[in-house]
Structure 1
């Protein structure tokens, strides 16, 4: 039961953080390209890599990894924004967005993992 509470609390805070970060980024950058989702997802991949590299488990992982980062990052919005870029803007932007998201996500997760391992 405690693990469910940890996930719920982390998810609550992560969802609010995602909303706040997304709105902040949208105000600062070009609204025609989904930078907010890209940046939030890359940050989340990095932070999850750090958690895994540090060997975080149990309630701490449930709160931060599953709850907070699970709610902070968003795969569904990422997919819908890629489709909308293809439909409304052009295929080139959709391909760039997908490429930056996938390669950037792998790179930031790997960097986070290395950083987390070096912190032990």
Structure 2
């Protein structure tokens, strides 16, 4: 049953990631990967919120592992950062690393605080 919940969450998270990435990136005319940045920060916020809720294995499998796992993308973050550096956009590559880590940690903390405030 857990595997089915993870697969269901991932089946929703992957298309949401793709559509969100494309929508965000289409609004920016820069080399910075705003779409990937947005989905990763959003995923951190949601996962932070989920882990602060009372334990529910089914919800965590569906929304945490499945949805957030498919929504966020470390591999694309890594690839885009390397491509920025290789194409001479090193300041953007460094900004991507620093901003992604900082915003991701901040979003996870914010999600936890929001969940605790609602409990």
Quickly name the TM-score band, shorter chain normalised. over 0.9
| Residue equivalent to 1:12 | 11
How big is the shift at 1:58? 1.0
Q: How many residues are treated as equivalent by the alignment?
A: 119
Partners of 2:31 and 2:92 within 8 A in 1 = no
How big is the shift at 1:89? 3.4
How big is the shift at 1:56? 4.3
How big is the shift at 1:31? 4.5
How big is the shift at 1:57? 2.1
- Structure 2 CA distance for aligned equivalents of residues 99 and 74 of structure 1: 16
Range with bigger deviation, 67-76 or 56-65: 56-65
Q: Which sections of structure 2, spanning at least 5 residues, go unmatched?
A: none
- Is 2:20 the partner of 1:21? yes
| Residue equivalent to 1:40 | 39
- Structure 1 CA distance for aligned equivalents of residues 62 and 16 of structure 2: 14
